[in-house]
Amino acid sequence: MTKFARPLPGSLMDIASEASLKAIENAGAGDRDFDAVYFASMACGEFAHQTAAATALVDELALIPAPTHRIENGPASGASAIRDAFFGIASGMYDLVLVTGAEKMSTVPGAVATDLISTMLHHEAEYLHGATLPSFAAMLTRLYMKRYGLTENQLAAVAVKNHENGSKNPYAQLSHKKCTIEGVKDSIMIADPIRMYHCCPVSDGGASLVICSAEKARELGIKKPLIKIAGLGQATDAHTLQEREDPAVLKSVQLASQQAFKMAGLEPKDIDVAEVHDAFEILEIVESEDAGFFPKGEGGKAAEEGKTALDGELPINPSGGLKSRGHALGATGLAQAVELVWQLRGEAGERQVKDAKNAYALNFGGFGDNSVVTVLRRMD
């Protein structure tokens, strides 16, 4: 992957090709043709004024005539691309595919970025009213605080932990910034009660994976431990927040997680490390419960007690998460998977989680209405 930054020098294609070439090199596939290329980007047309970007990427990488198309599933475009690549291989159609995600968001002013991202909300019932993603995080926080008694310190603890992890990740956008509980609580207000240090930044970045069949992996002669896509899950929920069974519960996370665990033959307690979609720190708390890692209402307490820290019982977001690593929309699902591959191979340096064998990733395609879960496992 590339470093995430705002701005990251270069064009969308520069970012996508840098990430792709690193992955190809890492897989020892520099001289290979690929059966297909999947390109994930949520809004390259809007931010970078580039459409048919998948074709441009194949051309840039000299992978012609590989078939390619862009996958767009909001901010879960990356995880959806991994999922589609898996199906391509599982169907027997392909043996070796490249999956790359990239976004260049720094091209527009903040208020325009906020507006473009808001277009993922229900058009008539939410977007036209001026709803933004931070406003949804704020309304969820208020509901959740009232019901479960989440404290400001617990909410801030998630940001402090993610910045601490991010400071150990050279790819993280905010690797140079750590924060404290009191500092988070005094940071400037974005959407009451959501403050700046409860929100992920706007990012440029790219990330990429090579995915292949077990047979192809042997043929490539890869010396590193192989990582298997052991489980996949995806579920949707009512587009409008208020029409869900319970707006304070992320049912799509529950369903997607259950599917992925079932496919992998694992339970939440078997997971050694997780990357979740903390576009806002409240989400990490609610997701960690609905994924099954903590009982409902106890995610905040778990974070405050250090259970989700690097040395805790379940380290969450060792990369720094969306909060510190950054959130380059279409690249995020791939950046999560890249981090987990490093963790499972024991290549994560200072932020290495001890003896990680099973890993969980959750990527959001909207505000909790489209959740994509990937479970990865180290093959021994």
Partner 1 sequence: MSEEEKKMIGFKCKKCSRINYPKRARCLSCKGMEFEEVELGKECELVTYTQVYNPPAGYKGDPPLMLGIVKFPNGVLAMGQLAIDHPKDLKLGVKLRPVWGMLREIGGKEVFGFKFELAKKEQTSKLKLGGIEMEEYRGKKVEMEVMGKDVNWKEVMKPYPPRKIVLPNGEEMIVRSQTKDEIEEVVEALLPKTVQHKQLFDLIASEMVTEFYLWREGRPMWGCPAESHFNLVGRVGDEIVGVSNGALSSPEVGNSLHTVAIREGQQVGAQLWGCKLEHYFDVLGIKELHAAAESYRGGTELFQTFGFEEHPDKVVHFGTSPMQRLTKRQWERIRPGKIAGKRI
Find the shortest distance in angstroms from Cβ 122 to partner 1.
Answer: 7
Contact present, 153 and 304 (Cβ < 8 Å): yes
Q: Which is nearer to partner 1, 86 or 127 (CB)?
A: 127
**To which H or E segment does residue 184 belong?**
helix 181-186
260, β-bridge pairs: none
Tell me if 6 contacts partner 1 by CB under 8 A: no
Q: Which is nearer to partner 1, 159 or 260 (CB)?
A: 159
Q: Which is nearer to partner 1, 139 or 220 (CB)?
A: 139
Tell me if 8 contacts partner 1 by CB under 8 A: no
Tell me if 130 contacts partner 1 by CB under 8 A: yes
Q: Of residues 139, 222, 263, 266, which one binds partner 1 by CB under 8 A?
A: 139
Q: Which is nearer to partner 1, 185 or 228 (CB)?
A: 185
Residues 188-207 that bind partner 1 (CB under 8 A): 188-194, 196-197
CA 261, chain centre distance (Å): 18
Tell me if 45 contacts partner 1 by CB under 8 A: no
Q: Which is nearer to partner 1, 174 or 210 (CB)?
A: 174
Q: Of residues 26, 107, 187, 258, which one binds partner 1 by CB under 8 A?
A: 187
Find the shortest distance in angstroms from Cβ 254 to partner 1.
Answer: 18
Find the shortest distance in angstroms from Cβ 201 to partner 1.
Answer: 12
DSSP sequence for 64-119:
TT--EEEE-BTBTHHHHHHHHHHHHHHTTS-SEEEEEEEEE-TTS-HHHHHHHHHT
Rounded Cα–Cα distance for residues 208 and 20 (Å): 5
Tell me if 49 contacts partner 1 by CB under 8 A: no
Which one-letter amino acid corresponds to residue 327? H
Q: Of residues 128, 149, 349, 379, which one binds partner 1 by CB under 8 A?
A: 128
Q: Of residues 129, 218, 224, 262, which one binds partner 1 by CB under 8 A?
A: 129
For partner 1, which stretch binds (CB under 8 A), given 68-76, 137-145, 352-360, 370-378? 137-145
Tell me if 37 contacts partner 1 by CB under 8 A: no
DSSP sequence for 270-291:
G--EEE---SBHHHHHHHHHHT
Buried/exposed code over 146-164 (b: 16+ C-beta within 10 A; e: otherwise): eebebebebbbbbbbbbbb
Q: What angle do CA 193, 164, 231 make, to 5 degrees?
A: 85
The answer for residues whose C-beta is within 8 angstroms of residue 42's C-beta and 6 or more apart is 72, 73, 74, 75, 77, 103, 120, 329, 330
List phi, psi (to 5°) of 94: -125, 155
Buried/exposed code over 22-44 (b: 16+ C-beta within 10 A; e: otherwise): bbbebbebeebebbbbbbbbbbb
Dihedral sign for Cα 257, 203, 272, 157, please: negative
Q: Of residues 10, 183, 292, 312, which one binds partner 1 by CB under 8 A?
A: 183
Q: Per-residue contact track with partner 1, 202 to 241, x per CB under 8 A? A: ------------------------------------x-xx
Residues 276-305 that bind partner 1 (CB under 8 A): none
Q: Which is nearer to partner 1, 123 or 224 (CB)?
A: 123
Find the shortest distance in angstroms from Cβ 368 to partner 1.
Answer: 14
Q: Which is nearer to partner 1, 62 or 111 (CB)?
A: 111
Give me the residue label for tokens 């790359």: 100
The answer for residues whose C-beta is within 8 angstroms of residue 8's C-beta and 6 or more apart is 2, 15, 104, 106, 203, 204, 205
Contact present, 225 and 344 (Cβ < 8 Å): yes
Q: Per-residue contact track with partner 1, 244 to 273, x per CB under 8 A? A: ---x--------------------------
Residues 78-117 that bind partner 1 (CB under 8 A): 109-112, 114-115
**To which H or E segment does residue 256 belong?**
helix 251-264
Question: Which chain residues interact with partner 1 by CB under 8 A?
Answer: 109-112, 114-115, 118, 122, 124-126, 128-132, 134-135, 138-140, 142-143, 146, 177-180, 182-194, 196-197, 238, 240-243, 247
